[in-house]
Structure 1
Amino acid sequence: MKDRKTEPSDDRPSDVSATGSSTGTAAPSTTAARTAARLAPLVAWADRNPVPGTTLRIVRQLLAVDVRDRVFGMAGQSFLAVIPLLIISSSWLSQSDGRALATALSTRLGLTGVTADTVTLLFSRPEGSAEVSTASGLSLALLFFSVNSFTRTLRRSIEGPWELPKVGWKGQLSGLLGVVLLIVMQVTLAVIAVEWVSTSAAQGFLEGLVRTVVATAFWIAIGRALTHGRLSVARLWPGALVGGVGSTAIAIWTVTVLPGIFERDAARYGVIGVALALVTWLLAFSGLIVLVGVAGAQIARAAGWFTPREDPLVQPLFEQPDPQA
């Protein structure tokens, strides 16, 4: 009975699973081998040239850290942490129950009419509503844990590509400073954009250059804070420059494309549509944060300032790394 059970059948070829000829597709192992063979010349050529080699490593590491999940997770955490923190801060500073923040956002994006009213409705407290101290205390406690979780994610997005070990609660305190610097950077760039009225292409270029320089300086300070001062300015400036250029690109996208998203979503879904438009902006900025950490580390690696434990090009480009490694 045992011999008959292991005997191959005549009407089912034994090599179907190996060749995949019955379905017309190759087996996974064969596909991986063919992909690695096709990519080998490209990887070898890129490794001999600094710019394409560094670019390929940046792409490889972005795939390795699951950039999509990281960006979506960070955007969700920032929506739960940073937006309420801005509303509370605006209410305390201006005594306007969040209306000052809504007005600043509408002015920055050029929103008017129903869209501006919907933004005000999202950020302000309804008229005639009474304050409840118990609910406020619970909200502050939830806000504390949200900010704490967002700070940890933010720190690991910068520390991870540099393979820096965790430093405990001290790093959390400096991470909070990094969050504050991120907010101050956005406020500063928004003020520059509102106050600087460009009437010519030359003035517009100068404005973009000034914003890039200011953002780069902020990104250096943010990197110092998020890494608890363990990376010098000389190592941080390439990633900070990527952040400065990316911040300027997001600023241009914010005033050209994002207002249309706000108007369309507000018209379709009301307050929820404004929240979705805010999440869209947070997704773009979260992607920039992840890119600053990865690009900064890989550029420093190409310059010889940083030697990682493993070379991302050792593995096939599209093969996910072993999580146990």
Structure 2
Amino acid sequence: MDSNDGTPSSENQADPAVDPVRTRVDAVLGRLPAGLQRWLGWLLDRQLGRMLLRAVAGLGRIEVFDRSMTVAAQFFTSVLPVLILIATLGSNSDRFADAIEMPEQTRQVLEGVVDSGGGAAFGIVGAVFVLVSATSLSRALARAFAAIWGVPRPPTRLSSAWRWLAVVLVFALSLVLVRAAGEPLGSLPPRELWPRVVSFAWDVAVAAFIPWALLAGAVRARMLMPGALLFALLMITVRPATQAWLPVALEASADRYGSIGVAFTYLTWLYVAAFCFLTTALVGQVVATDPGLLGRRVRGN
């Protein structure tokens, strides 16, 4: 259980004296040559080695590869329909298509839907169904973050629906708003800096807000900041690589395999993003709950 101040209890924090992971590692170290055994033992006794060990064990505990694929698939079937709904209701598909680097032939299909009055085709019932179905992503993420922090998943109540919907809308709008907010700043010197500052700030806000909202405040916001900062720092590298690779991969997939190829390419991209999101959240949890100086500073002890 959690403490009243929103800090995960000591059951989830490292205690080298009783840590079962360290016990298993020590058993493995006992089979290594004496020199290597001493060096690895010295490293693992330090804060960095201890956190690295806990992070690796935590990634195995939450089954990060399986959860990343689940989140990626849920994102594909939840957020993209919401974006299409927003595009059709707004009768403007260009910004949405640009945000996800949509290839030309797929873009033409979307433009045909918008031009033919796709918003009316959705209707009120259809729009509600799309939004309700999209909350499956929020529930999948809630399970993942509950596993990361070792806290009970908030009970499923109608009063919690706003949290699920808010998370979906934040994800959907972030794909468009970050680009829209960065474009006016792109003309200010240095030209490459300000759009990245906007992206970094947004990534921090999103990576902190989503677990806070889905866990209903069970974990304090300051405890979530290490993971949010790590995610934003990682995306500084991942986002430019994605912008260089994704358009080419989408065009090649569309030419070779049509729409199914585009879908699989998007899923690959989403899997990488989900893996980065969950991994940095887990590492952030390790940092925030570590008994060392850094962990105590994060917790405000």
TM-score interval (norm. to shorter): 0.7 to 0.9
TM-score normalised over the length of structure 1: 0.68
* Residues 1:245 and 2:233 aligned together: yes
1:207 deviates by 3.4
1:104 to 77, 90, 95: 95
1:150 counterpart (126, 131, 137)? 137
2:205/2:228 contact within 8 Å kept: yes
- Distance in 2 between the 1:199 and 1:267 partners? 38
Shift of 1:132: 9.7
Which residue in the other structure is 1:176 paired with? 165
Structure 1 contact 158–292 (Cα < 8 Å) conserved: no
Distance in 1 separating the partners of 2:28 and 2:178? 48
Q: Which residue is 1:271 aligned to? A: 259
Residue matched to 1:165: 152
If the length of structure 2 is used for normalisation, what is the TM-score?
0.73
Aligned AA (1:233)? A
Tell me the CA shift for residue 35 of structure 1.
Answer: 8.0
Cα distance in 2, alignment partners of residues 176 and 198 from structure 1: 35
**Gapped runs of 5+ residues in structure 2?**
1-26
- For residues 51 and 182 of structure 1, do their structure 2 counterparts lie closer, same or farther at Cα, with a shift above 3 Å needed? farther
Which of 81, 86, 91 aligns to 1:84? It is 81
Contact map agreement 1:122 1:271 (CA 8 A) in 2: no
Contact 2:226-2:284 at 8 Å conserved across structures:
yes
Change (3 A) 1:43 1:175: farther
SS at match of 1:257: helix
Report the CA distance shift for 1:263/1:173 in structure 2 as closer, same or farther (over 3 A): same
Structure 1: stretches of 5+ with no match in the other structure: 1-32, 307-325
Is the contact between residue 79 and residue 171 of structure 2 (CA under 8 Å) also seen in structure 1?
no
Q: Which residue of 2 aligns with 1:191?
A: 180
Cα drift, residue 268 of structure 1: 0.7
Give the distance between the partners of 2:112 and 2:46, measured in 1 at CA: 54
Aligned length: 263
**Counterpart of 1:44?**
41
Residues 50 and 124 of structure 1, relative CA distance in 2, 3 Å threshold: farther
Kept in 2: contact 1:76–1:279 (CA 8 A): yes
Structure-1 residue corresponding to 2:213:
225
Q: Equivalents in 1 of 2:61, 2:216: separation in Å?
A: 24
Question: What corresponds to 1:299 in structure 2?
Answer: 287
* Identity score, percent: 22
Match of 1:118 in 2: 106
Distance of 1:221 and 1:278 partners within structure 2 = 24
Instruction: Report if the CA contact (8 A) 2:96-2:176 is conserved.
Output: no
Contact 2:76 2:267 in 1 (8 A): yes
Q: How far apart are residue 81 of structure 1 and its match?
A: 1.2
- Cα distance in structure 2, aligned partners of 1:143 and 1:69: 25
Structure 1 residue 277, shift from structure 2 partner = 2.2
Secondary structure (helix, strand or coil) at the match of 1:165 reads coil
- 1:259 aligns with 247
